[in-house]
Structure 1
Amino acid sequence: MDFSQEEENNNVSLTKFESMLKTNNVLFFDSSEFENIIHHYLNQGKVALAKKAIKLGLQQHPSSISLKLFKVEIFVFEDDLSKANELLNELYILEPSNEEIYIQKANILSKEDKHEEAIDVLKRALVLAEDTADLYSLIGMEYLFLDQFDMARDSFMKCLEANPEDYASLYNIIYCFDFLDKNEEAIEYLNIYLDTNPYCEVAWHQLGREYYELKDYDKALNAYDFAIISDDTFVGAYIEKGKVLEKLNLYNEAIENYSITLSLEDPTSFALLRIGNCHEILRNNDLALHYYYKTVHEDPLLAKGWIAITKFCFNQKEYQKALHYINKAISIDSENASYWKHYAKINHRLNFLEEAESGYKQALELGNHELETWLIRTDILAELGEQEAAAFNLIQGQEFYPENAEIEFRLAGLYFQLLETEKATYHLRNGLRFDAEHVIVLESLFPDVYESLLINKLI
């Protein structure tokens, strides 16, 4: 039977089954038909219909091991592992050489985080199976759960030996190499694979990524060219090639490659953003802005898009425009710390100090704990006459940056202004001990304090 005829028969069985459900007329199906129907519903995520098919199937074929295994699968899906185990034990007594029983048992053990036991069960299934590729893949995944990347890689290699077009296993092999920081070994493996599969675009693509990691951009470029020769519709190869060309400062060529992806499939925000960035570097400002607009239109949730358009306007000294776009970004995602930091910077440049301080405060509360954020917020609070709040902000910052001279000298200046001489002296001495050269902070931010007789004596 050819594939199209088999598919047609499956569709006929499915239509017949669904018609039966609507009419309540009980029709007969052979067990293989039920298996195909159940498999279809599970693939579609229609668990309730799959359960109906299993129930009816077992009513008509009560001794079918395959249908009972589907029942096990449902039990596992619903996390009813005790029932799944009970039924599996019954099936094992009936048919101990059925590899699917071992696979389901391993699946249960895996869900119970018993990955080593799952591997042992799968290895027992290897003895029974004619086709071992899928079993090695499952074993590989269990080793990944255990962070045993060498063992996982070797298992996936056996899958690829059995089926050289198993690209999922190829990706997993390279993932293991990468996690182990073995880029050179990954390159060696890919080159051996390509000797026998020279037109495998996936392997060329992965080879390019390995060379890119090693900053060998010329070899990466060659690998991506071969990937494109193998499949000139391979979007990933054009994207990665564009990234390499940017590293080589070949921005027009990068734009060309990113642009090809726009014609091959629906535009991606990543490609649009990179095109905009290349045009900005080339000072094609109108084109840069055009592609940044398209980026945020394509994906309003892409933080990098809003930040790019905001920074572009900021660098062009169009601060009101920059503020407009960062406000739009915040209205979409008010929990993004980067948005608030850019909001603060723009308002600071516009001398809107209260808004700037509020922006830095939001950024800190959302997890942006960069030293610059603590220091600038402090300086703004001091400028607003909020010395106590400025000092408290720095005390909080010290939790992240202990023994920091810039913080200590600021605290010294603030406490002298607050006439808390003992605290001021303590922090001044700390600053001098940590890095005396940063006393310039005191000189520039607190000149009156710095010039006072007391401070000069202490310095």
Structure 2
Amino acid sequence: MRMNEHFENHRAVLDTVRRFERMVAQHESIFFDLEDFENIIDHYVTNAEFDKALQACEAALGQYPFSTELLIDRAQVTAMRGDYTEAERQIDHVADLDPTNADVAVTRGIISTQRGEFAQAVEFFRAGLEQEPEREDIHFNLGLAFQSWQKFKSAAKHYKQSLRLNPDNETGVQELLHCLDITGRLEEHEEFFQRFTDEDPYSATAWYNLGQYWYRREDFDKAVQAFDYAVVISPDFHDAHHWLADTFVCQQEYLKAIPEFELAYPTGEPTDEALCNIGECYEKLRDWEPARRYYRQALEINPAMDEAWFGQGVLMQEQGRWLEAIHYFRKATELYAESGEYWSALGAAENQVGNVVSALEAYEKATEVAPEDAQGWVSWSAILYEQGHFTEAVELVRHAVELHPHEAHFQYMLCAYLLADGRMREAYNTLETALTLNFDQHILLFDYFPELREQPGLKRLIEQFRK
């Protein structure tokens, strides 16, 4: 019952937000009761739309100029927009009007957190808790402050208390799981998440949170079971449908994922994310036409969705339509230039059509934005090797070896490059390392570089390790 009420309230809030936006766009007189304004502001803050939230605060204060709650909302939103001095001025004004209000301390804590003054933020939040010890939002803000301060165990403690007081805080669940994961304490918290379903087996939120836990543990069978309970209890629980679909994707069950992604949004209101996810499922199934259709529908909603442009590039790549793939990959990099995956894909496509210089530029960019991704270094080095630039190829593939010193594949590649560069001793030392790590993978050396089959010294060394 509680979850059904939650969804009804959510729909009502969205209707109120739409009505507010329509009135603003048409320059109509705006009148809402105080609770509606609070819901509008909360909606914008939750979605990180702080400019709109401030606009709603100003409109609300035009109607209710003496509302302490709205004055506090405005100060908090102002802080979230980064205007800390003005936020402090506003909250000082509220403190003069209502010095015992716990939200004065909370707002000062939010400002301090935003400024990176975490010790001071904690003190403000604790002062707020002394006044109102059962405020779940204060515990949540304490969690955020400790997490930003890299004190993950303390953060987890307050996130847990926040969830005990309000299990519906989905952000709190995500942040708690993140902190537990970082500190290696996920396994020991199974009972914490299980207890919510034991206490209320008809709570969709409890099952959803348990699903999040198992998803983070990568126990996808149990995650599916938990998310499935959530959507059976509340069929309109769109986020649970999304995570159930995402779990099916992790299991490579793409046909099961598609209908769940279709239920991950209100009827008739598809999101660009859901449509893109469906397109990717069809792509994995190698069903090109529906994949293309869903990617395009996603772009109709959001033309700046880089994932959908990239997805269409992958479709073209898989069909060997390299010039078209280049167009889509380049568009993806224009929209999001910080993706090493995008630049690497562009580099591969450019190389396929013989645009070697453009390919090298793309791979260089890939390693610049994602130096931790070994594939960018390897692909870049392979082109240089093909062009006869052996010394440069050696130096590049060394980055991949440094990133993954126990991955024999990269060691074999380095060996081949060293041989081509005439550095025999280094090559044989590297080969010994590779053979020690994984003898069976030595065939990769000949798959990539067939000419090495005729190297007698190479064959002798491999035979020594075979014995």
Q: TM-score range by the shorter chain?
A: 0.5 to 0.7
Q: Structure 2-normalised TM-score? A: 0.64
Cross-structure match for 2:288: 285
Deviation of 1:256 after TM superposition, in Å, equals 1.8
SS in 2 for 1:222: helix
CA distance in 1, matches of 2:126, 2:458: 76
Unaligned runs of 5+ in 2: 1-15, 21-33, 43-49, 406-410, 463-467
Q: 1:31-430 maps to which residues of 2 (within 5 A)?
A: 44-45=53-54, 78-80=83-85, 99-100=102-103, 102-103=105-106, 106=109, 110=113, 113-129=116-132, 132-162=135-165, 169=172, 172-248=175-251, 250-261=253-264, 264=267, 266-330=269-333, 332-333=335-336, 336-351=339-354, 353-367=356-370, 371-384=374-387, 387=388, 389-399=389-399, 401=401, 404=411, 406-414=413-421, 416=422, 424-425=423-424, 427-428=426-427, 430=429
Deviation of 1:235 after TM superposition, in Å, equals 1.4
Is contact 2:398-2:414 (8 Å) kept?
Answer: yes
AA in 2 matched with 1:340? W
AA in 2 matched with 1:226? Y
Deviation of 1:391 after TM superposition, in Å, equals 2.0
Do the aligned partners of residues 158 and 449 (structure 1) sit closer, same or farther apart at CA in structure 2, a change above 3 Å counting? closer
SS in 2 for 1:256: helix
CA distance in 1, matches of 2:459, 2:174: 65
Do the aligned partners of residues 263 and 381 (structure 1) sit closer, same or farther apart at CA in structure 2, a change above 3 Å counting? same
CA distance in 2, matches of 1:283, 1:67: 53
CA distance in 1, matches of 2:383, 2:75: 64
CA distance in 1, matches of 2:443, 2:221: 48
Deviation of 1:365 after TM superposition, in Å, equals 4.4
Deviation of 1:363 after TM superposition, in Å, equals 3.3
Do the aligned partners of residues 379 and 101 (structure 1) sit closer, same or farther apart at CA in structure 2, a change above 3 Å counting? closer
SS in 2 for 1:398: helix
Do the aligned partners of residues 231 and 325 (structure 1) sit closer, same or farther apart at CA in structure 2, a change above 3 Å counting? same
Deviation of 1:45 after TM superposition, in Å, equals 1.7
Is contact 1:338-1:368 (8 Å) kept?
Answer: no
Do the aligned partners of residues 75 and 298 (structure 1) sit closer, same or farther apart at CA in structure 2, a change above 3 Å counting? closer
AA in 1 matched with 2:395? I
Is contact 1:406-1:431 (8 Å) kept?
Answer: no
AA in 2 matched with 1:346? A
AA in 2 matched with 1:45? L
Unaligned runs of 5+ in 1: 1-6, 12-31, 417-423
AA in 1 matched with 2:260? N
* CA deviation string 1:210-247 (max 9, x = no partner): 22333443432232222223322221111222233345
CA distance in 1, matches of 2:255, 2:73: 56
Is contact 1:374-1:394 (8 Å) kept?
Answer: no
RMSD over aligned CA atoms reads: 5.4
AA in 1 matched with 2:398? Q
SS in 2 for 1:45: helix
* CA deviation string 1:353-372 (max 9, x = no partner): 45544543443444456555
Further displaced range: 159-168 or 276-285: 159-168
Greater Cα radius of gyration, structure 1 or 2: 1
Do the aligned partners of residues 345 and 46 (structure 1) sit closer, same or farther apart at CA in structure 2, a change above 3 Å counting? closer
CA distance in 2, matches of 1:392, 1:230: 60
CA distance in 2, matches of 1:295, 1:66: 39
Deviation of 1:75 after TM superposition, in Å, equals 10
SS in 2 for 1:264: coil
AA in 1 matched with 2:233? S
Do the aligned partners of residues 297 and 150 (structure 1) sit closer, same or farther apart at CA in structure 2, a change above 3 Å counting? same
CA distance in 2, matches of 1:348, 1:121: 57
Is contact 1:335-1:366 (8 Å) kept?
Answer: yes
* CA deviation string 1:167-186 (max 9, x = no partner): 65555555544444444454
AA in 1 matched with 2:347? A
Do the aligned partners of residues 237 and 401 (structure 1) sit closer, same or farther apart at CA in structure 2, a change above 3 Å counting? same
Is contact 2:261-2:274 (8 Å) kept?
Answer: yes
CA distance in 1, matches of 2:453, 2:115: 65
CA distance in 1, matches of 2:88, 2:400: 51
* CA deviation string 1:364-402 (max 9, x = no partner): 444456555445544544544xx4x44234334435535
CA distance in 1, matches of 2:260, 2:413: 46
Is contact 1:409-1:439 (8 Å) kept?
Answer: no
CA distance in 2, matches of 1:67, 1:370: 47
Do the aligned partners of residues 265 and 239 (structure 1) sit closer, same or farther apart at CA in structure 2, a change above 3 Å counting? farther
CA distance in 2, matches of 1:443, 1:225: 46
CA distance in 2, matches of 1:378, 1:160: 50
* Equivalent residues, number: 408
AA in 2 matched with 1:394? V
SS in 1 for 2:54: coil
